[in-house]
Amino acid sequence: MPLSPTDIEALGARAEQMVNALGTISAEPDRLVRLFLTPEHRRAADRVADWMRAAGLVVSEDALGTVRGRLTGTGPKRLLIGSHIDSVIDAGKYDGPFGVIAGILAAEHFSRSGRKLSFGLDVLAFGDEEGSRFPTTLASSSACAGAFRGETLALADRDGVTLGAAITAYGKSVEDIPAAAYAPGEAAAYVEVHIEQGPVLEVRKEPLGVVTAIIGQTYLNVAFAGEAGHAGTVPMALRRDALAGASEAVLLGESLARATQGEVVATVGRITVAPGATNVIPAQVVAIFDIRAADEAARARLAGELRDGIHAIAQRRHLGVTITSTREVATTPCHPLVQDQLAAAIRRVGGEGLRLGSGAGHDGQAMAKLCPIGMLFVRCRGGISHNPLEYADPRDLGLAVAALIEFIERFDPEKLG
């Protein structure tokens, strides 16, 4: 039986309540900070697991802390529905959690109906989509996809704790990472519901949209080495100031990206400066460049030009420089058939089924190594995201859950081969 407007409204109200509840779980009292494998991640994962159990799902957790709520079907294949519960620093409440909550509410709809689907449903709550703690990302979804990169275990957070050590401190074992992977052929598809994080749906007055592809990203970790000295005594011409070199590099990244007229975007959102005293010339600076473009060649070209330009800056300023890349995520198309099925589901709840690209990264980029993927976007106010002002109307949240239910209702694993 189709969902009534009252049912959809009730789903939206519940989704909002759950988003707000997870939004209170933070490392800091005045802003949302929930990083991978921290006590806050633990508390959020426990809350999600409770919701999954209450929805009638069987809950387990893998070596990367991914919470999995399972509903069995009559056949061996599974439809995976997921998103993430980690956050950026000073985050909004919707980015990630809403996708997990949408999955739980949709799965609950089927578990309560008592009717078995011909396929199983797994709701996945990943812990590492933002990459805010370690200089790597998508570790948890990569493990589920059987594509976890062992070398990332040695990467350290700002306090020098490696990913491997953090997994152990979280009560897990790196030996168990391979067991997180789905068996080949078991996963029929991965679908994620997420706020758009951009303005397109709002401008088009559409509550929901279908993602065509998820943009690729390259990170360049640039470490400049200069010489510390007294801020009052060393003449300007004799300084080897690592921060001044990094500042030139930041502006170079901006101008190279601007010159592409929107094809490539480049951001430096974090710089560390050592020794970090007001009266000492900066000796060591690390700047992380986040470079994104849907076109792989355009992104590689800009990264190459930036590397060359940074080496030239370092040479002119007599600075040492090392450039490493710890994050390289390919542009990932969503499966055409999954896109069509999501568009049909959106139309059934009254939307147009508009298609749009994703400029943000998502767990689907790792899950695409396992199975066909698709994404459903939800309008968010002003397109604002990665900002505590992030907001989505509960009516739109309700429509998104309803569209997901419609999608599941008609999903046929055999059609995807």
What is the closest distance, in whole angstroms, from the C-beta atom of residue 195 to Mn ion in the complex? 8
Is residue 360 a contact point for ligand GLV (CB under 6 A)?
Answer: yes
Judge contact between 136 and 327, C-beta under 8 A.
Answer: yes
Closest C-alpha to 280, from 242, 319, 320: 242
What is the closest distance, in whole angstroms, from the C-beta atom of residue 197 to ligand GLV in the complex? 7
Strands 320-329 and 187-195 turn out to be: unpaired
Closest CB to ligand GLV among residues 137, 247 = 137
Which one-letter amino acid corresponds to residue 324? T
Cα–Cα separations (whole angstroms), residue 174 to 62, 141, 178, 261:
10, 15, 9, 44
What is the closest distance, in whole angstroms, from the C-beta atom of residue 217 to ligand GLV in the complex? 7
Closest CB to ligand GLV among residues 260, 387 = 387
As beta bridge partners, residue 252 has: none
Closest C-alpha to 363, from 186, 145, 197, 167: 145
Rounded distance, CA 268 to CA 283, Å? 19
Is residue 192 a contact point for ligand GLV (CB under 6 A)?
Answer: no
What residue ranges in 36-142 does DSSP mark as E strands? 58-61, 67-71, 78-84, 120-126
What is the closest distance, in whole angstroms, from the C-beta atom of residue 179 to Mn ion in the complex? 26
Is residue 329 a contact point for ligand GLV (CB under 6 A)?
Answer: no
User: What are the structure tokens assigned to 65, written together?
Assistant: 């802390």
Rounded distance, CA 380 to CA 395, Å? 11
Closest CB to Mn ion among residues 96, 253 = 96
Task: List the single partner that 96 binds among ligand GLV, Mn ion, none, CB under 5 to 8 Å by kind.
Answer: Mn ion
Is residue 135 a contact point for ligand GLV (CB under 6 A)?
Answer: no
Closest CB to Mn ion among residues 95, 196 = 95
Residue nearest to ligand GLV as judged by C-beta position? 361
Closest CB to ligand GLV among residues 96, 120 = 96
What residue ranges in 168-300 does DSSP mark as E strands? 187-195, 208-214, 216-225, 265-274, 284-293
Task: List the single partner that 361 binds among ligand GLV, Mn ion, none, CB under 5 to 8 Å by kind.
Answer: ligand GLV
What is the closest distance, in whole angstroms, from the C-beta atom of residue 87 to Mn ion in the complex? 8
Is residue 130 a contact point for ligand GLV (CB under 6 A)?
Answer: yes
**Cβ count within 10 A of residue 137:** 27
Closest CB to ligand GLV among residues 69, 131 = 131
Is residue 97 a contact point for ligand GLV (CB under 6 A)?
Answer: no
What is the closest distance, in whole angstroms, from the C-beta atom of residue 27 to Mn ion in the complex? 17
Is residue 361 a contact point for ligand GLV (CB under 6 A)?
Answer: yes
Size of the site for ligand GLV (CB under 6 A): 3
Residue nearest to Mn ion as judged by C-beta position? 95
Residues between 235 and 274 that touch Mn ion (CB under 5 A): none
Q: Which stretch binds Mn ion (CB under 5 A): 17-25, 90-98, 113-121, 329-337?
A: 90-98
Closest CB to ligand GLV among residues 281, 360 = 360
What is the torsional sign of CA 413, 85, 38, 47?
negative
What is the closest distance, in whole angstroms, from the C-beta atom of residue 269 to ligand GLV in the complex? 10
Residue whose entry in the numeric block shows the structure tokens 């991978």:
36
Cα–Cα separations (whole angstroms), residue 233 to 57, 78, 104, 403:
67, 68, 63, 66
Task: List the single partner that 11 binds among Mn ion, ligand GLV, none, CB under 5 to 8 Å by kind.
Answer: none
Judge contact between 211 and 374, C-beta under 8 A.
Answer: yes
What is the closest distance, in whole angstroms, from the C-beta atom of residue 361 to ligand GLV in the complex? 3
What is the closest distance, in whole angstroms, from the C-beta atom of residue 360 to ligand GLV in the complex? 4
Residues between 91 and 110 that touch Mn ion (CB under 5 A): 95-96
Closest CB to ligand GLV among residues 61, 130 = 130
Instruction: List the end-to-end C-alpha distance of the chain, in Å, as a whole number.
Output: 28
Name residues whose C-beta falls within 8 Å of residue 63's C-beta, 6 or more positions apart in sequence.
143, 167, 172, 173, 174, 175, 176, 177, 179, 180
Helix (H, G, I), strand (E, B) or coil at 372: coil
Helix (H, G, I), strand (E, B) or coil at 314: helix
Q: Which spans of this chain sit near Mn ion (rule: CB under 5 A)? A: 95-96
Q: Which spans of this chain sit near ligand GLV (rule: CB under 6 A)? A: 130, 360-361
